[in-house]
Amino acid sequence: MKILTCPINGPRPITEFAYGGELREMPDPARATDAEWTDYVFNRNSVPSTKCEWWCHTSSGVWFIAVRDTASDVTLRTFLYARSAGGAP
């Protein structure tokens, strides 16, 4: 069982966490074409790489961002979204 480090609660077993999808920028709904919007809604890039993902420590309700290398299955770091400007760490 993997261990994930919650920025608030420290390293905890993965069963205490829920995955919230990839952190993605939403296109401006007013300006996006139908094709661009459809691509945003339905398409995901599953190529192994470094991903920024939403994770929630369910026991405490803390949402944070995990930067994960999906090729090596290693979590590079985790941090609170709110403390960062514009989603960048």
Partner 1 sequence: MNRLAARPGEWIDRSQRIAFSFEGHAHHGYQGDTLTSALIASGVRTLGRSFKYHRPRGALSVANHDANAIVQIRRAGRSIPNQRADLLPIAEGLEAFAVNTQGGLARDRRRHLDRLSAYLPVGFYYKAFHSKRLFPYWERLFRNLTGLGAVDLDAPRVVTPKRHEFADVAVIGAGPAGLAAAVAAADAGAEVVLVDENPRIGGSATYALASETASAQRVADLIGSVTSHPRIRRFVTTVATGLYADHLLALVTQDRLLKLRAGSVIIAQGAFEQPAVFRNNDLPGVMLASGAQRLMHRYAVAPASRVGILGANVHAYRAALDARAAGIEVSVLLDLRERPGPQSLPLAETLRAQGVRVLNGTGVYAAHRGGSGDIDSIELAEWREGAWRRSSANAIAVDGLWMSVGFAPADALLRQAGAVVQYDARACQFVPGVLPPGLFACGKVNGVFDLDARVADGQRAGTAAALHCGFESRSCFGVGAPDQETATHPYPIVEHPEGMNFVDFDEDLQLKDFANAVQEGFDNAELLKRFTTVGMGLSQGKHSNANALRVLAQLRGMPLDSIAQTTARPMFQSVPMSHLAGRGFSPERRTPVDADHESLGAVWMPAGNWRRPAYYRRDRLTREESIAAEVRALRGGIGLIDVGTLGKIEAHGSQAGEFLDRVYTGHFGSLKVGMTRYGLMLDESGVIVDDGVIARLAPEVFYFTTTTGNSAALFRELVRLATWWRMPVSLVNLTGHFAAFNLAGPRSREALARLTSLALDDAAFPYLGVREAKIANVPARLLRVGFVGELGYEIHVPSGSAAEVWNAIRTAGADFGITLIGVEAQRMLRLEKAHIIVGQDTDGLTNPFEIGADWAVKMDKPFFIGQRSLAIIAKNAPRQQLVGFALEPGRYAGIRECHLVIRDGDIAGRVTSVGQSPTLGRTIGLALVTPAAARDATLSIRIDGGAQVAAPIVPLPFYDPAGARQRIDSGGARS
Residues that bind partner 1 (CB under 8 A): 1-3, 18, 20, 29, 32, 34, 37-38, 40-42, 54, 56, 58, 61, 63, 73, 81-82
Q: What is the nearest approach in angstroms of partner 1 to the Cβ of residue 50?
A: 18
Distances (CA, A) of 54 to 11, 18, 73, 78, 87: 16, 9, 16, 10, 11
Q: What is the nearest approach in angstroms of partner 1 to the Cβ of residue 1?
A: 5
Of 32 and 67, CB closest to partner 1: 32
Side-chain-side CA neighbours of residue 46 (13 Å): 2
For residue 20, give the amino acid letter. G
Of 21 and 46, CB closest to partner 1: 21
For residue 21, give the amino acid letter. G
